Amino acid sequence: MQIAIRNPKDLLMGLLYFLVGGAGLLFGRDYAIGTAANMGPGFFPFYLSCLLLIFAVVSWARGFLLAGEPVGPIAWKAIALIAGTVIAFGFLLERAGLAIAMPLLLVTAAMASDRFRLDWRTGLGVVAFTALCAALFTYGLGLPIPVLGSWFG
């Protein structure tokens, strides 16, 4: 019998179950399990992690036995730009302030689309939206979101 990958999606899901279940066992190894009548903090995490490992094995078996479709192309550029710019926003918001973090987010995110052109209209839009956010969140709602952050004193 020839062994071949028939459903890559199941294999990947199996990997996910394995990683999450494995992490649950690894990081939860010091939590007391206790008994059914008196469960410790480790009771649920332990059994759930074991169940996830079983799911991993079943999922891998499905990947070799049941036919499926290929995963298809992954939009790595969009992932990197969108997630990266959100993380940068989180880092910069309190340090550099909204006036820097928001325009950076808008322009970097827009670069993920191939229809993006940086011209005066985009610039105007970026400035207008940043001003709207400042007016709404910082001044209107009084949330602790600085327009200029701690880097500027």
Partner 1 sequence: MDMLVNLGLGFATALTPMNLLYCFVGVFLGTAIGVLPGLGPVATIAMLLPLTFGLPPETSLIMLAGIFYGAQYGGSTTAILVNLPGETSSVVTTLDGYQMARKGQAGKALATAAIGSFIAGTIATLVIALFAPTLAGIAFQFRPPDFFSLMVLGLIASVVLANGSLFHAIGMILIGLLLGFVGTDINSGVPRFTFDIPELYDGLEFVAIAMGLFGIGEIIANLEQRAERTVSLKSVSGTLPTREDWKRIFWPILRGTGLGSVLGVLPGGGANLASFASYAMEKKLSRHPEEFGKGAIEGVAAPESANNAGAQSAFIPMLTLGIPSNPVMALMIGAMLIQGIQPGPTVMTEQPALFWGLIASMWIGNLFLVILNLPLIGFWVKLVSVPYHLLYPIILGFCAIGVFSVSNSSFDVYLMAGFGIAGYLLRKVGAEPAPMMLALILGAMMEEYLRRALLLSRGDGSVLLTSPISAGILIVCVLLVVTVVLPAVRKRREETFAEE
What gap in Å lies between CA 66 and CA 64, rounded to an integer?
6
Q: Is 144 in the site for partner 1 (CB under 8 A)?
A: yes
Question: Which of 36, 14, 34, 18 has its CA nearest to residue 26?
Answer: 18
Strand partners of residue 34 = 39
Question: For partner 1, how many residues bind (rule: CB under 8 A)?
Answer: 68
What's CA 140's distance to the chain center, in Å?
30
Binding-residue pattern over the window 18 to 57 for partner 1, x denoting contact by CB under 8 A: --xx--x--xx--xx--xxxxxxx--xx--xx-xx--x--
Least distance (Å) between residue 18 CB and partner 1: 11
Strand ranges for the chain from DSSP E: none
Q: Which residues of 70-83 are buried (b: 16+ CB within 10 A; e: fewer)?
A: eeeeeeeeeeebbe
Comparing CB distances to partner 1, the nearer of 6 and 62 is 62
Is the alpha carbon torsion for 5, 21, 74, 67 positive or negative? Answer: positive
Interface residue with partner 1 among 3, 113, 120, 153 (CB under 8 A) is 113
Contacting positions for partner 1 (CB under 8 A): 9, 12-13, 16-17, 20-21, 24, 27-28, 31-32, 35-41, 44-45, 48-49, 51-52, 55, 58-59, 62, 69, 71-75, 78-79, 82-87, 89-91, 93-94, 98, 102, 105-107, 109-110, 112-113, 115-116, 125, 129, 133, 137, 141-145
